[in-house]
C-alpha cells in the first residue's frame, strides 16, 4: 500500500524544517506530522476568460482611450398602422424577407385564448393536490432562504 502526500503539505513541512538537506529527516517529519492522505491531488491551471479578471491581475485588453464615448444607435421603429395591425413586427431576423403575417383567429388553437396573460395566481388560490402548487411552495421557500442568507453578517 503506497501513501501519497500532498505537495503543499511537504512544502510546509520543508519550510518549517528550514530546508534541511537530509531527505530522511523530511520524510520522518512528514510521517510524524501525519500528513498522509489517500486522495490524489492534481495540478490545475486556473484561468479566467474575463479581461482583467482576478487571476489576470489587470493584464486584460486595454481600453481604446480614457475619454472615448459610446455612440447610441437609433433603432428603426415601425410607424405604419397598416403594417402594425397585419404583421408581427420584428419577427424577421434575416436581412431579406418580411415579418410574419398575422392570421385570422379561427386558424389558431382554442387553448391559446385561455392562457393566463396576467399575474400568476396567488398560492392560496391554488389546489394543494396539483404539481403547480408544490412548485410554487418550493420556489417561495427558496426565495425566503435566499433573503435570510443575504441578511447574514458573514
Cα–Cα dist 2/76, whole Å? 71
Amino acid 95: pLDDT: 85
Amino acid 93: pLDDT: 87
Cα–Cα dist 64/42, whole Å? 40
pTM: 0.37
Which ranges of the chain have pLDDT less than 70?
A: 1-68
Give the domain ranges of the chain: 81-151
Amino acid 104: pLDDT: 94
Amino acid at each position: 500500500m503506497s501513501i501519497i502526500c500532498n505537495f503543499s503539505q511537504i512544502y510546509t513541512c520543508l519550510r518549517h524544517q528550514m530546508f534541511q538537506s537530509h531527505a530522511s529527516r523530511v520524510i520522518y517529519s512528514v510521517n510524524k506530522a501525519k500528513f498522509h492522505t489517500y486522495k490524489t491531488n492534481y495540478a490545475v491551471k486556473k484561468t479566467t476568460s474575463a479581461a482583467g479578471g482576478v487571476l489576470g491581475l489587470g493584464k486584460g485588453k486595454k481600453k481604446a482611450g480614457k475619454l472615448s464615448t459610446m455612440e447610441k444607435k437609433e433603432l428603426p421603429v415601425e410607424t405604419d398602422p397598416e403594417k402594425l395591425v397585419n404583421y408581427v413586427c420584428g419577427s424577421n431576423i434575416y436581412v431579406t424577407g418580411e415579418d410574419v403575417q398575422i392570421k385570422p383567429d379561427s386558424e389558431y388553437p382554442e387553448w391559446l385564448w385561455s392562457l393566463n396573460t396576467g399575474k400568476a395566481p396567488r398560492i392560496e388560490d391554488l389546489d394543494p393536490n396539483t404539481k403547480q402548487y408544490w412548485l410554487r411552495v418550493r420556489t417561495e421557500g427558496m426565495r425566503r432562504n435566499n433573503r435570510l442568507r443575504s441578511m447574514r453578517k458573514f
